[in-house]
């Protein structure tokens, strides 16, 4: 395939670059107007992380500015002594006291800046820890259905991908902005003390540099924004070339050359854009430096005029030159810090907004205690709709589950089986209707207590990057006897026996000496996890999907054998597995269509009988 015929397609913006367009279009005055709010938010976060380090960082930076101003003023005394009349040794001796003051000011400034840097380096990890704890504390508490809300999910991704990472940088950049502003104010204050006319000279010297810095930054941001789709496309192709999952098919279909051509086509286009950016930025810097040279020339002319008319002495003029140089450096730092603060602040605001939204979604405390066991679970007239869905997933569903029963939910995909099970286990709350354990409405009980009394064996179980032990105990260690008993019931004991480090083996190849399991082995671990919980309600949602026929049969035999004292809710497409259930509910499009035992449902000759006969016919 020729390079010019490659179909590269369009790539949408990622959450990492969600605000780059805003930054590329906004003016510097807009940035400046928002700075106080951003600095306030950043310092508020820093204060919550560590009041002591926040106070130390700010106060030491302010002291550094004061010592800068003091050193500049002391320089006037040095120059005055050196430019006075008389023999050189006497002038040097006269300058020694002022030189000592300059040295002391420089030493103190270096010391407080080192202290400020130390305090800020302590502050950064504390801010990161605070923001991460806040985010993940909220994401693990919001209701499960919240994750099905597209708006919430998008906000979560923005907060996670960049919002959390920018929190410490926002604090650091806010402090850098304040430090640069203090340095600029110190230079301006010195010039004002020396002679009021010198203040406009500072503006004349720094404005060209400011213009060049802002214009160059705007060029960079707008260019990088235009390159975001290309950068994402490169990343996607690079993942195909270097990631483990597609590696087999890349080789099977000999796609290496094709993917490399695609990568090179995008990389060349990106390179041309960056080369043009370098040329434009260089031109801007040359113009800025030229204007800055003109400004500096005008400053020296103005100083010469002031010297000629006797408005200022030579020593003051020398100090003014040093102060203006100090002001230019502080301004360059201020421009850089201001742009960084505004950019990072946009993503930091995403984090703040997400946390506030998540906090509004948290449940109020519920006073009732969940029963340790139950005689009957009832669900009456349940209705439930997923966020953003056009139609309900459940409509007027009523079921009853007695203690010690094996109850099955069957039906075609999308019939509402798993949704109903999640409502019964406290993972979802219905929009209408009541779920009660022995008459106690679960809306009056803390959902965590309900979940603690429920064990779930799910088809889409999580493959935790933890040891084999923790993959079963889930942090609730009940001793070796309980662990080994649960593993035996699920057949996971043979899986663990083949692992190189037994129960201590990490089940993730990304770790040193980590191991990967097959789908069937993972299924056994998940089943053992459910049995180890030893909860009064055991929900099995397609627990044998990854098992072969022999292992599936053995597992259902184990579930029946160990169901004594437990209530088992079984969800499966394999109807041969539910023949011995005490009650079977057949769902279709969110409603209960049929219910009864296997024999009674077969005699109805309805949907259950049709599905059962279809599956049975495949084995005839």
DSSP-assigned beta bridge partners for residue 435: 379
What pLDDT does residue 196 have? 78
Confirm whether 420 is domain-assigned: yes
pLDDT for residue 119 is more than 50: yes
Same domain, 36 and 165: yes
Confirm whether 491 is domain-assigned: no
Same domain, 253 and 380: no
Confirm whether 247 is domain-assigned: yes
Same domain, 135 and 109: yes
pLDDT for residue 400 is more than 70: yes
Same domain, 438 and 587: yes
Burial of 417 (0-12, 13-18, 19+ CB in 10 A): buried
pLDDT digits (tens, 9 = 90+) for 200-229: 777 777 777 777 776 776 677 677 667 767
pLDDT for residue 397 is more than 50: yes
Which residue, 423, 355, 358, 360, is CA-closest to 395? 423
Which DSSP string corresponds to 586-612?
EEETTEEEEEE-HHHHHHHTSHHHHHH
Confirm whether 541 is domain-assigned: no
Same domain, 171 and 50: yes
The answer to whether 28 touches 214, Cβ cutoff 8 Å, is yes
pTM value surpassing 0.85: no
- As a three-state string, the secondary structure of 543-573 is CCCCCCHHHHHHHHHHHHHCCCCCEEEEECC
pLDDT for residue 118 is more than 80: yes
pLDDT for residue 403 is more than 70: yes
Same domain, 147 and 44: yes
Confirm whether 433 is domain-assigned: yes
Lowest mean pLDDT among 6-20, 127-141, 150-164, 338-352: 6-20
Percent of the chain scoring above 70 in pLDDT: 88
What pLDDT does residue 197 have? 75
Number of separate domains in the chain = 3
Same domain, 115 and 234: no
Q: In what order do the strands lie in the sheet with 440-441?
A: 394-402, 376-384, 432-437, 440-441
Mean pLDDT value across residues 176-194:
81
CA distance 314 to 105: 22
DSSP-assigned beta bridge partners for residue 406: 568
Q: How many CB atoms lie within 10 A of CB 108?
A: 16
CA distance 313 to 112: 32
pLDDT for residue 383 is more than 90: yes
Same domain, 386 and 302: no
pLDDT for residue 585 is more than 90: yes
Same domain, 174 and 213: no
State the CATH number of the domain containing residue 444. 3.40.50.300
Confirm whether 299 is domain-assigned: yes
Same domain, 188 and 88: yes
CA distance 200 to 484: 82
Domain encompassing residue 51: 20-195+340-360
DSSP-assigned beta bridge partners for residue 455: 538
pLDDT digits (tens, 9 = 90+) for 239-281: 888 887 788 888 888 888 888 988 888 888 888 888 888 888 8
Same domain, 187 and 219: no
pLDDT for residue 190 is more than 70: yes
Average pLDDT score, the chain: 81
Confirm whether 234 is domain-assigned: yes
In the three-class reduction of DSSP (H, G, I as helix; E, B as strand; rest coil), residue 243 is classed as coil
The alpha carbon of 372 is separated from its chain's Cα centroid by a whole number of angstroms, namely: 37
Confirm whether 470 is domain-assigned: no
Under the banding of pLDDT at 50, 70 and 90, the label for residue 380 is: very high
Same domain, 83 and 218: no
- As a three-state string, the secondary structure of 189-226 is HHHHHHCCCHHHHHHHHHHHHHHHHHHHHHHHHHHHHH
pLDDT digits (tens, 9 = 90+) for 319-353: 777 887 777 777 777 777 777 777 777 778 778 88
CA distance 556 to 558: 5
376-384 and 432-437 strand pairing: antiparallel
CA separation (Å) from 51 to 126, 153, 173?
A: 11, 33, 18
């Amino acid at each position: 395939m020729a390079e010019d015929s490659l179909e590269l397609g369009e790539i949408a913006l990622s959450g990492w670059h969600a605000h780059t367009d805003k930054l590329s279009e906004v003016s510097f005055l807009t940035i400046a107007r928002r700075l106080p709010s951003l600095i306030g938010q950043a310092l508020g976060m820093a204060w919550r992380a560590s009041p002591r380090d926040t106070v130390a960082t700010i106060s030491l930076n302010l002291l550094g500015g004061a010592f800068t101003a003091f050193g500049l003023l002391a320089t006037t005394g040095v120059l005055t002594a050196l430019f006075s009349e008389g023999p050189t040794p006497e002038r040097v001796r006269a300058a020694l006291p002022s030189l000592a003051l300059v040295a002391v000011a420089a030493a103190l400034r270096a010391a407080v800046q080192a202290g400020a840097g130390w305090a800020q380096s302590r502050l950064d990890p504390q801010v990161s820890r605070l923001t991460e704890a806040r985010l993940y504390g909220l994401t693990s508490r919001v209701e499960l259905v919240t994750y099905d809300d597209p708006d919430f999910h998008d906000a979560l991704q923005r907060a996670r991908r960049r919002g959390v990472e920018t929190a410490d940088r926002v604090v650091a950049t806010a402090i850098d902005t304040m430090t640069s502003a203090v340095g600029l104010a110190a230079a301006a204050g010195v010039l004002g003390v020396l002679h009021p006319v010198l203040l406009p000279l500072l503006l004349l010297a720094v404005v060209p540099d400011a213009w060049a810095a802002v214009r160059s930054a705007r060029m960079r941001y707008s260019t990088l924004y235009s390159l975001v789709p290309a950068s994402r496309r490169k990343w996607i192709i690079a993942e195909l070339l270097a990631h483990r999952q597609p590696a087999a098919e890349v080789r099977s279909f000999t796609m290496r050359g094709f993917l490399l051509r695609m990568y090179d086509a995008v990389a060349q286009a990106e390179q041309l854009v960056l080369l043009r950016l370098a040329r434009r930025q260089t031109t801007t810097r040359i113009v800025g430096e030229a204007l800055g040279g003109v400004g500096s020339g005008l400053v020296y002319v103005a100083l010469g005029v002031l010297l000629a008319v006797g408005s200022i002495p030579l020593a003051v003029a020398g100090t003014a030159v040093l102060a203006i140089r100090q002001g230019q450096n502080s301004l360059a730092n201020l421009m850089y810090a201001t742009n960084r603060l505004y950019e990072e602040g946009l993503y930091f605001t995403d984090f703040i907004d997400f946390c506030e939204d998540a906090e509004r979604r948290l449940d109020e405390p519920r006073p009732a205690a969940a029963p340790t066991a139950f005689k009957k679970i009832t669900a009456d007239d349940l209705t439930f709709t997923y966020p953003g869905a056009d139609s309900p997933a459940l409509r007027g569903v009523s079921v009853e589950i007695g203690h010690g029963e094996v109850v099955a939910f069957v039906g075609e995909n999308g019939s509402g089986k798993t949704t109903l099970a999640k409502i019964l286990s406290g993972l979802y709350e219905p929009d209408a209707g009541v779920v009660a354990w022995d008459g106690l409405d679960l809306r009056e009980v803390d959902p965590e207590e309900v979940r603690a009394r429920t064990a779930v064996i799910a088809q889409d179980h999580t493959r935790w990057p933890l040891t084999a032990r923790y993959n079963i105990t889930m942090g609730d260690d009940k001793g070796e006897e309980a662990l080994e008993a649960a593993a035996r019931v699920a057949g996971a004991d043979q899986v663990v026996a083949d692992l190189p480090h037994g129960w201590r083996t990490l089940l993730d190849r990304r770790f040193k000496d980590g191991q990967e399991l097959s789908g069937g082995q993972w299924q056994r671990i998940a089943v053992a996890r459910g049995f180890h919980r030893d909860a009064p309600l055991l929900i099995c949602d397609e627990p044998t999907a990854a098992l072969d026929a022999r292992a599936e049969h053995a597992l259902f035999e184990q579930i029946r054998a160990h169901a004594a004292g437990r209530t088992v809710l079984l969800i499966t497409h394999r109807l041969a597995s539910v023949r011995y259930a005490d009650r079977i509910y057949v769902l279709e499009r969110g409603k209960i269509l049929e219910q009864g035992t296997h024999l009674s449902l077969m005699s109805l000759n309805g949907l259950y009988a049709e599905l059962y006969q279809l599956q049975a016919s495949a084995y005839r």
